[in-house]
Structure 1
Amino acid sequence: MGADTINHFIEYLTWDEVARRIAADSPAILPIGAAAKQHGFHLPLNADRVQAEWFAARLAERIDALIWPTVTYGYYPAFVDYAGSASLSCATFEAVIHEIAAGILGSGCRALFVLDTGISTLAPAERALSRLDGNAVCHLRLYHGPRYGRAAEALREQSHGSHADEIETSLMLAIAPDLVDMARAEASPALTHEVSGRLTPTDPRSPNYSRSGSYGDPTLATRAKGEVLLAALLEDLHEQAQVFLGDHDAAGRGVSS
């Protein structure tokens, strides 16, 4: 991480420098990314955190934002049968996000982007943020942008997947290849039908059985796919942020459409 990137993370700054940046109207970014959540045999438990901080850093460079420490514990009930995986209750996670976000806005930040890498975290985070000033908070759902959706659809070869799969592993190969052990990548069994709920490493009869913890086929991942996906994701994030900041500034000036 270079010096220019580090200067966006408040944990590396002094409090008075943070105060000066807030007074100069720097927006805030709060990443949500698990650091204790299984990602198959081939990815580390902090894969979500790695992705969240990578995207937060690149977005911060584009909009000159301050990045608050990543929320590394969250609501991840689907993975708790795998060693090292932790999940808060839904209510606790919602309360944590609300209190942190309220504190950031209370410090004087004009705008807050909550950058969410999860799936199960989306609904409770949305509820938490809905109780705050909607003109000051933007919930960035990392994988919901149109460019990313088109890129993923064009590149995807796996029949199913959503976790430590072809897509996520491709992203990690582009972001942090040293953390990926492709020799240990293992596809989850082919689905006869999809059932929501907890993955299991021990019950082969379950439709959610996955010995490795992957859900999809990470063996199909490549760094080239990841680079295309990263470019699409960054453009989606930047566009969402620019639109939100433009609307936020217009609202502050009392401009109506």
Structure 2
Amino acid sequence: MAADTDRHFIERLTWDEVARRIHDGAPAILPIGAAAKQHGFHLPLNTDRLQAEWLAARIAGPVDALIWPTLTYGHYPAFVEYAGSGSLSAATFENLVHEVAAAILGGGCRKLLVLNTGISTLAPVDRALARFDAIRVKHVWTHGGPRYPRVAKELAQQRHGSHADELETSLMLALAPHLVDMARAEASPAVTEDTPGPLTPSDQNSPNYSRSGSYGDPTLATPAKGEMLLAAMLYDLNEHVAAFVAKSAEPRSAVTKGVL
């Protein structure tokens, strides 16, 4: 991570520096990105974390936000058959997100944006944040819209996919190409269901069989596609962040709707 982003990550600051920034009104960003989740033969297990922190660093700049340590364990039940992949129960993950968010707001931050890279994590995060004032807390999915889905649809050549696929691999080729081993990229078999169940590397008779763990065709990925996808994603995210930060916050003492 570039040195000029260090001032945004609280783990690289002293506590009194963080206190001053909070006092001055710096919004908070809480990234969510797995560090122990398979991403095929060609991408590392911390792919989601890398994306979450890369994106957080870039959306923090325009609003001078503080970035909290990434939540690297989450609810990822679709990947547990693959070595190294971990998953919390939905209830445990929901409680984790709620407690961390409550601590951030309770520490004086007036605004908190939760930056989510996952899919199975969306519903638990929504439930965890529903107990807070919506003026102070916002949940943003990195693959939300409107620009990113449109660009993704225009660029995608694969017939199916959503994990370690053409699009995600293209993103990684753009932001961390040294970590991508395209020689090992392997497409998953075609599936008949739009949304598969938990993937499996062992049951070849399952409709969700994927030897590599990919769901889609990462062999079609290119850095050029990744650059276009990242540009659309950042445009969407920066628009969401700017609008959220611009809204008037409640007084600092009103942390939640009566729940901490």
Give the structure 1 partner of residue 228 of structure 2. 228
Listed as ranges, the matches of 1:160-179 within 5 Å are: 160-179=160-179
> Which letter does structure 2 place at the counterpart of 1:65?
A
Shift of 1:192: 2.8
**Equivalent residues of 1:194, 1:207 under 8 A apart:** no
Shift of 1:3: 2.2
Give the structure 2 partner of residue 58 of structure 1. 58
Give me the whole-angstrom Cα distance separating, in 2, the residues matched to 1:24 and 1:193: 50
> Which letter does structure 1 place at the counterpart of 2:62?
R
Higher mean C-alpha displacement, 91-100 vs 142-151: 142-151
Deviation per CA, 1:56-114: give whole Å up to 9, x if none: 00001121100000000000000000000000011000000000000000010010000
> Which letter does structure 2 place at the counterpart of 1:103?
A
Alignment TM-score, normalising by the size of structure 1: 0.96
Give the structure 1 partner of residue 71 of structure 2. 71
Shift of 1:145: 1.3
2:24 is equivalent to residue 24 of structure 1: yes
Give me the whole-angstrom Cα distance separating, in 1, the residues matched to 2:158 and 2:65: 36
> Which letter does structure 2 place at the counterpart of 1:7?
R
Give the structure 2 partner of residue 107 of structure 1. 107
Shift of 1:196: 3.4
- State the aligned residue count: 251
Shift of 1:194: 3.8
Secondary structure, in 3 states, of the residue corresponding to 1:71? coil
| Alignment RMSD | 1.1
2:189 is equivalent to residue 192 of structure 1: no
Higher mean C-alpha displacement, 229-238 vs 188-197: 188-197
Give me the whole-angstrom Cα distance separating, in 2, the residues matched to 1:195 and 1:16: 47
Higher mean C-alpha displacement, 188-197 vs 43-52: 188-197
Deviation per CA, 1:158-180: give whole Å up to 9, x if none: 00000000000000000100000
Secondary structure, in 3 states, of the residue corresponding to 2:247? helix
Give me the whole-angstrom Cα distance separating, in 1, the residues matched to 2:220 and 2:28: 36
> Which letter does structure 1 place at the counterpart of 2:55?
F
Give me the whole-angstrom Cα distance separating, in 2, the residues matched to 1:193 and 1:124: 24
Give the structure 2 partner of residue 138 of structure 1. 138
> Which letter does structure 2 place at the counterpart of 1:37?
K
Alignment TM-score, normalising by the size of structure 2: 0.94
Give the structure 1 partner of residue 237 of structure 2. 237
> Which letter does structure 2 place at the counterpart of 1:179?
L
Deviation per CA, 1:15-64: give whole Å up to 9, x if none: 00000000010000000000000000000000000000000000011211
* Identical amino acids, percent of aligned pairs: 69
Give me the whole-angstrom Cα distance separating, in 2, the residues matched to 1:64 and 1:14: 17
Secondary structure, in 3 states, of the residue corresponding to 1:144? coil
Give me the whole-angstrom Cα distance separating, in 2, the residues matched to 1:31 and 1:244: 16
Shift of 1:195: 5.0
Give the structure 2 partner of residue 180 of structure 1. 180
**Runs of 5+ consecutive residues of structure 1 not aligned to the other structure:** 253-257
**CA 248–197 in structure 1, closer or farther in 2 if over 3 Å, else same:** farther
Give the structure 2 partner of residue 255 of structure 1. none
Shift of 1:193: 3.1
> Which letter does structure 1 place at the counterpart of 2:211?
R
> Which letter does structure 2 place at the counterpart of 1:200?
T
